[in-house]
Structure 1
């Protein structure tokens, strides 16, 4: 099972990174996310309610909002100090693109990523990684590795940290909706404050 994990999340993802396939990662994410849903729903010991579980969102919001707000302030301050020319550049200069990202990024990118790197990975490889910190670390490492696609260290560092946070949130709430909302908050902040070019080739 460890060999399968390495093959799927490092071998196949690594091949995609080096192949430079036209169209970017979104089409593959959508296909892989759909495949993950099919597999999860057909797995007897997976609780299908984990794919949404909306009642978990409201109780989790206080624990989610505070660190996100701190991150947002620090991210904006960092861009203002080290790269002022890009501060809020996407909403200012590419407003339509920014609005499209705000609307469609959670649906076309965030939720499929959470399907793969949280729901599927944490359930499929639980017999090897367990259901605690080791599993969250495996999720974070694989999530960070995938972001080598964007060719910069900061994207990898931020997504390793985010991957850990999202994995632990999913482990606590068993709600893919909750963790997707949290993921979307951080992602939209990144695109808003001026770090979007690190995560989007067209930014």
Structure 2
């Protein structure tokens, strides 16, 4: 074997070993470092910029690098195939959430639509586009395609997506937001894994998000809490 061949094999072995390390560093910087940065700066504007700009840049470069991977990412056929199961699960869980709010904080139940119907309607209309879409891009689609070498595409991916999603909501400085979003993140990740439809995971996320703001849990997800000293 020539020195050139030996050198090429050594380079390939080095790249194989170093790639997971680089991916881990990237994952930690993005999904751990950015929430810490937002928490330290305590600025809502930075939070909004991260929510919007991160998915834009990530998907722009990833789609250029791997256009075939993201070609059918929305997968509207997958939405139609999985819609019934998502709606049935939502019907059951929504009843449980309403009962929990009624039992523990009855004064908060339906507080936003009762007291501020205009604001509630605005949230219902804008939340899916301004919040759900970028979050699903970065916590479901990008995380699966980019970090599959680290977590795989099954249970490891679902766990990573759920934990990263819940961790990102620690900036709201309460335990309800991270707990609920970790559970929701697992549901949305499982939906995306099963159907490979970003449209379906966005739809499911929007259902639960609108439920949260409707039944009186929106106070735990208010971005202003991230900017309080």
TM over 0.5: yes
Question: SS where residue 49 of structure 1 aligns?
Answer: coil
1:47 aligns with 2:70: yes
State the alpha-carbon separation in 1 of the partners of residues 183 and 46 from structure 2: 23
1:157 aligns with 2:152: no
| Unmatched segments (≥5 aa) in structure 2 | 1-22
Give the structure with higher Rg (CA): 2
Alignment of 1:25-64 (within 5 A): 25-44=47-66, 45-50=68-73, 52-64=74-86
4+ residue runs over 4 A deviation: none
State the alpha-carbon separation in 1 of the partners of residues 56 and 70 from structure 2: 17
Q: Is the 8 A contact 1:40 1:46 kept in 2?
A: no
TM-score normalised per structure 2: 0.84
1:107 aligns with 2:126: no
Aligned to 1:175: 197
| Unmatched segments (≥5 aa) in structure 1 | none
Query: How many residues are aligned here?
Result: 202
Q: Over the residues paired in the alignment, what is the CA RMSD in angstroms?
A: 1.5
1:136-180 Cα distance to aligned partner (Å, 9 max, x none):
111111000000011111111111111111111111111111100
Aligned-pair CA distance for 1:49: 1.3
State the alpha-carbon separation in 2 of the partners of residues 123 and 166 from structure 1: 15
1:75 aligned to 91, 97, 100, which one?
A: 97
Aligned-pair CA distance for 1:57: 1.1
TM-score normalised per structure 1: 0.94
Q: Is the 8 A contact 1:76 1:193 kept in 2?
A: yes
Change (3 A) 1:24 1:199: farther
